[in-house]
């Protein structure tokens, strides 16, 4: 689709990035570019946010991308940041959910795909 000056590109959705990673792999140049653009959009969103919950969700979504790419260590690091933020905001239910994801990843049960979007 041709983009004209001043025309805003539709926001890249996490599901679009996950599908690209699954279809082409993390090393594909188009996938890398898509990941970078998604990350930039989310970081801009995060920086404008008035809510810590937006930052927590960013870290959870980023962890999902790491999982899809097979980078479990990167996923755990993102989830740990999300857990700390949730704790700081007294979002204990959210923190508990994040901690469960971390435990499942650390257990190495090989069911990483089932952890996505939980």
Burial class of residue 84 in the structure, from the number of CB atoms within 10 Å of its CB (0-12 exposed, 13-18 middle, 19+ buried): middle
Question: Which pLDDT does position 5 carry in this prediction?
Answer: 56
> Which of the listed CATH numbers 1.25.40, 2.60.120, 1.20.120, 3.30.420 matches domain 14-110?
1.25.40
Q: Which residues in the chain come in under a pLDDT of 70?
A: 1-8, 109-118
Which stretch of DSSP H or E encloses residue 88?
helix 72-88
* The token pair that represents 87 in the structure block: 């704790």
Q: How far apart are CA 5 and CA 88, in angstroms?
A: 42
pLDDT at res. 33:
94
What tokens were used for 91?
Answer: 């979002």
User: What pLDDT was estimated at residue 52?
Assistant: 84
**Would you state the pLDDT for residue 112?**
53
* 25-49 burial: b if 16+ Cβ within 10 Å, else e: ebeeeebeebbeebbeebeeebeee
């Amino acid at each position: 689709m041709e983009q004209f000056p001043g025309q805003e590109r539709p926001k890249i959705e996490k599901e679009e990035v996950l599908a690209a990673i699954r279809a082409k792999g993390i090393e594909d140049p188009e996938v890398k570019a898509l990941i970078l653009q998604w990350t930039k959009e989310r970081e801009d969103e995060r920086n404008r946010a008035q809510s810590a919950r937006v930052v927590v969700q960013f870290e959870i979504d980023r962890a999902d991308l790491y999982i899809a790419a097979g980078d479990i260590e990167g996923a755990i690091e993102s989830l740990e940041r999300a857990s700390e933020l949730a704790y700081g905001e007294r979002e204990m239910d959210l923190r508990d959910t994040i901690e469960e994801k971390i435990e499942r990843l650390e257990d190495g049960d090989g069911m990483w795909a089932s952890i996505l979007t939980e």
